[in-house]
Chains A and B, each alone.
Chain A
Amino acid sequence: GAVVSQHPSRVICKSGTSVKIECRSLDFQATTMFWYRQFPKQSLMLMATSNEGSKATYEQGVEKDKFLINHASLTLSTLTVTSAHPEDSSFYICSAVSGRDNSPLHFGNGTRLTVT
């Protein structure tokens, strides 16, 4: 089945630094990728939707200058958390869907970000 690979699985960074998370679709072309944030024991909150070759669409309340998204190819999207602070610590999950009708959403395994 379709696989979405997310990297890294865990990252610890110091406050004020930036962190980049990669999301790759391994065996299909992902026309659209989504980035979610999940707090402990809570549901997934959609942060932004990215389409290949165009600017990402951010959900209300999500700072686009803080969470930079680049969807440079049909198999790769990146999320960069800039000037990270402890409150940015969370579980970030990407997902991807191909352009085919009725294609399901495939999730990566998530990235646990801890900002110290």
Chain B
Amino acid sequence: GENVEQHPSTLSVQEGDSAVIKCTYSDSASNYFPWYKQELGKGPQLIIDIRSNVGEKKDQRIAVTLNKTAKHFSLHITETQPEDSAVYFCAASQTGTASKLTFGTGTRLQVTL
């Protein structure tokens, strides 16, 4: 089955700096890669996703890049703000949809003032 690795497990950045979280996946058939943000005591919220026919996608301060050859994808957050502090999960699916997602292990992002 699919295996998704995520790094780093914790990340601390100063407000205004950029944060990058990286994930690798094992199954070359995976074709849908969402990113979720989970705040304390809440369920994950989708923040951005990318499909295998696209190399990069951007939404304001958030961007995701995908390298199919290397089987890795990354989340980039620019101009970080304290409210970006949360746990971020990457995920991968072979169905092209949000069904049967395999999640990474999570990255705890702390944005300090």
Q: Give A contacts to B, CB under 8 Å.
A: 4, 6, 32, 34, 41-44, 46, 49, 93, 95, 97, 101-110, 112
Contact = CB atoms under 8 A, between A and B. Distances in A.
B103 interface: yes
Contacts of B43: 4, 6, 93, 95, 107-110
A105 to B, nearest CB: 3
A104 B46 contact: yes
B42 A109 contact: yes
B49 A43 contact: no
Mostly, the B contact residues are: loop
Mostly, the A contact residues are: strand
Interface residues of B, number: 22
A49 B99 contact: yes
Interface of B: 34, 36, 41-46, 49, 51, 89, 96-101, 103-106, 108
Given A43-B104, A105-B98, A107-B36, 9 more contacts: A41-B108, A46-B101, A95-B43, A95-B98, A97-B97, A97-B99, A102-B97, A105-B34, A108-B43
Given A44-B89, A49-B99, A104 B49 contact: yes
Contact of A103 (B44, B89, B97, B101): B97
A87 B73 CA distance: 35
B89 A107 contact: no
Nearest to A96: B98
Closest 10 CB pairs of A and B: A105-B98, A107-B43, A43-B103, A109-B43, A110-B43, A107-B44, A43-B105, A44-B103, A93-B43, A97-B98
B34 A104 contact: yes
